[in-house]
Amino acid sequence: NDAAPGAERIAVYQAQSDQAYQRRIRLARDLRYAAQHHELSAVFQPKLDLASGEVRQVEALMRWQHSQLGMIRPDEFIPLAEQTGSITMLTEWMIVAVLSQLRDWIDRGIHLQVAMNLSARDLDDPEFPRRVERMLRAQQISPDYLALEVTESAVMRDPQASIDSLLVLRDLGISLSVDDYGTGYSSLATLKSLPVQDLKIDKSFVLQLAENSDDAVIVKSTIELAHNMGLRVIAEGIENAGSLAWLKARHCDVVQGYFISRPLSAADLERWMDETRGTFV
């Protein structure tokens, strides 16, 4: 009798972790068919250039609308896809989606650079850069319309292979960014060796920027470090006017966050750009 409450808690915990496990198994399996079942889509979040007040770039982010389980967030399915190997297929799906969106925009006189996220496996694959080159050529899209975002941890899995791939991609004329900067374990030496143009400060340092003095110190020094290394700085996770003003005063180059806009479908993005051009600076 004494042990009953504890045992009950353990039973509840086991039921929950069992459920979480079952969900992971199911998602891992269904993910393999998500593309064929037309359950994937791309949304686009504007990146605001603070000097000009213009949006010239967007980040493409993947969405998975599961037929029974509803919308699954990338923070849940991307790590699963990385573990199971489905990520290669998801990246391929995303490149096709981004390039066909770009083709459509360019044909209609809309000139935006689109960034997409890569995973460690994409960077470790020595064929990847040439595949991207072929796909750009097939759609007749100039490489400077495309940007690729890589995290420090993705690079660190196989730094040499990653840097080799990044060099080829950069030489093609594709823009490269380090994503989620500050959350990984790479050194300044690694950062220095990466052939990137942009450094994206992780949103965990930006969300409470105006209220948290530790975050403010980190972001301020990161902006200075990046500028001294000749990199452009992008801050993600701008949720209020306070952090926007703060970043502008400290010469951050580009901002991205819910305060500017949430990620939008292509049609909603076009409407948003028509309506809000220039209101933020």
Closest to ligand C2E by CB, 16 vs 34, is 34
Q: x/- binding map, residues 134-173, to ligand C2E, per CB under 6 A?
A: ---------------x------------------------
**Amino acid identity, residue 196?**
V
94 binds ligand C2E (CB under 6 A): yes
- The torsion region of residue 263 among left (phi > 0), alpha (psi -120 to 50) and beta comes to beta
Residue from the set 30, 152, 236, 253 that interacts with ligand C2E by CB under 6 A: 236
Q: Name the one range near ligand C2E by CB under 6 A: 115-123, 170-178, 223-231, 264-272.
A: 115-123
Q: How far apart are CA 271 and CA 154, in angstroms?
A: 35
Residues 189-218 binding Mg ion (CB under 5 A) are: none
The binder of 254, among Mg ion, ligand C2E, none, by C-beta within 5 to 8 A per type, is none
What Å distances lie between residue 95 and 42, 45, 100, 115, 133, CA to CA? 10, 16, 8, 10, 11
Residues 25-54 binding Mg ion (CB under 5 A) are: none
Residue from the set 35, 120, 123, 238 that interacts with ligand C2E by CB under 6 A: 238
- The torsion region of residue 151 among left (phi > 0), alpha (psi -120 to 50) and beta comes to beta
Q: Name the one range near ligand C2E by CB under 6 A: 103-111, 185-193, 224-232, 256-264.
A: 256-264
Q: To 5 degrees, how large is the angle CA 156–CA 170–CA 110?
A: 115
Shortest gap between Cβ of 38 and Mg ion (angstroms)?
A: 24
Residue from the set 30, 122, 179, 198 that interacts with Mg ion by CB under 5 A: 179
Where do we find the tokens 């965990």? 204
Q: Name the one range near Mg ion by CB under 5 A: 112-120, 136-144, 210-218, 248-256.
A: 112-120
Q: Other C-beta atoms within 10 Å of 258: how many?
A: 14
Residues 12-51 binding ligand C2E (CB under 6 A) are: 45
Q: Other C-beta atoms within 10 Å of 137: how many?
A: 10
The binder of 101, among Mg ion, ligand C2E, none, by C-beta within 5 to 8 A per type, is none
Please count the CA atoms within 13 angstroms of the CA of 204 that sit on its side-chain side.
6
Shortest gap between Cβ of 117 and Mg ion (angstroms)?
A: 5
Q: Name the one range near ligand C2E by CB under 6 A: 73-81, 167-175, 186-194, 225-233.
A: 73-81
Closest to ligand C2E by CB, 30 vs 149, is 149
Shortest gap between Cβ of 7 and ligand C2E (angstroms)?
A: 38
Residues at the interface with Mg ion (CB under 5 A): 117, 149, 179-180
Residues at the interface with ligand C2E (CB under 6 A): 45, 61-62, 73-75, 78, 94, 116-119, 149, 179-180, 203, 236-239, 256-258, 263
